[in-house]
A and B are shown apart, each in its own frame.
Chain A
């Protein structure tokens, strides 16, 4: 039982910096799509998801600087308080970097459970900042996005690992 829970670590090629940048920009684009109405509640924060993924997988390549910059860009694009996403993503990056060995030990559902807690923490930080700035609590549907994001964690991980798969050489036995 215990064995099946531990992730089987694949041997992967080193990830290219360009690919990380590309995935972050793609996440930003997904966030910037004109979501509206009920979709806005369901919409996962793709940037938070991508930042967390790379902080857990590549803590030496992606860290605070990129998380913080992405946060500032999100603040400008959403017209929110300048620095709220930056603060939330910095703390998310910290949690990802500190916990990366632990999270990578798990596979499947236990890993997703870790991720959903981290994403909810990200939401709570933004919520705390806005409540301090005088906004109203928007309702519990505010947290739906994080659960949707956590559900996307495993497919996203598989997708982002694809380019690092070593190519099978048919000539070699």
Chain B
């Protein structure tokens, strides 16, 4: 005779079996997404599901901000107005010069038969919230692939580089800030044109120039701008100012830290650089293979 539990007690697989199933599934997701990038489409679907909730959750803060904007005082408005008018005059003088310089530059480039520098196009976006992940520095903005935002586009504010779009969802995009530990920006020293790679440190307001020889000419106060040699960031965007240079004889590299110029931690609006640059074609891959094969043959 067979004794089986009455249907009332049948609850499916045991908790341990279920735990193993779901853990294995989660681990598979972790590996598939982070190593091989297989699940990008599933992420997109989940993002569309969460989108309304994200908008609802972000609403109270933006309403509070708008109410705060409404009740600005007469004094602060007048102050702002005076400051803006002054800035407008100052910028107008610079702009006049800029137009003349641009025309001159274009002519000179034509004379030299050099490639024309493309102007950059900017699209404004609002920062919805900072991603709640203590391990990274990211913000989420309210523009996505429906507004032609693509992963890889640089993000700036009115002072300098803020970060880079690393993931674009249909109506939202994730921006990894320059202070993120895994974010690298090729930069150039404005003072002497030295190129270097700037990386974040994972803490707000600190950036680091890595692998700079001890005798390299970097000084505290140097301004670093994007060099543009990576083809991602347009050249000349202000990125950081060197705050500290530490040279110790017992180390191979100098320890150079800087502070970001863009308002990395405190912004509500950012600009996405959308214009794409035409780059010269990469050198053919054959050379690389040939170089790789040589040692094997000899």
Contacts and interface: CB of A to CB of B under 8 A. Distances in A.
A40 B136 CA distance: 13
A142 B202 CA distance: 14
Contact of B33 (A32, A40, A83): A83
Contact of B130 (A28, A40, A64, A87): A40
A32 B57 contact: yes
Contact of B22 (A28, A68, A78): A68
Interface in B1-40: 11, 15-16, 18-19, 21-23, 25-30, 33-34, 39
Given A83-B27, A142-B134, A136 B181 contact: yes
Interface in A117-157: 129-130, 133-136, 138, 142
Given A29-B56, A34-B57, A87 B34 contact: no
B60 interface: yes
B58 A34 contact: yes
Given A34-B61, A34-B130, A64-B19, A79 B138 contact: yes
A76 B50 contact: yes
B118 to A, nearest CB: 30
Contacts of A28: 53
Interface string B55-66: 011101100000
Contacts of B254: none
A29 B16 CA distance: 30
Interface stretch (B41-49, B96-104, B222-230): B41-49
B173 to A, nearest CB: 10
A19 interface: no
A78 B34 contact: no
Interface residues of A, number: 45
A67 B39 CA distance: 20
Interface string B217-254: 00000000000000000000000000000000000000
Interface in A5-56: 25, 28-29, 31-36, 40-41, 43
B15 A98 contact: yes
B26 A71 contact: yes
A82 B46 CA distance: 11
B128 interface: yes
Interface in B129-163: 129-136, 138, 140
B18 A33 contact: no
B135 to A, nearest CB: 4
Contact of B132 (A40, A72, A90): A40
B208 interface: no
A80 B133 contact: yes
B22 A64 contact: yes
Interface in B156-181: 167, 174, 181
Given A29-B57, A34-B128, A90 B133 contact: no
A113 interface: no
Contacts of A105: none
A119 to B, nearest CB: 15
B54 interface: yes
A80 B60 CA distance: 24
Nearest to B11: A60
A87 B23 contact: yes
Nearest to B134: A138
A135 B180 CA distance: 10
Contacts of B57: 29, 32-34
Q: Identify the 5 closest CB pairs spanning chains A and B, nearest first.
A: A83-B29, A34-B129, A87-B26, A32-B57, A82-B33
Given A32-B50, A32-B129, A86-B26, 14 more contacts: A34-B58, A41-B134, A63-B18, A73-B49, A73-B50, A76-B43, A82-B43, A83-B33, A87-B22, A91-B19, A94-B15, A135-B136, A135-B181, A136-B135
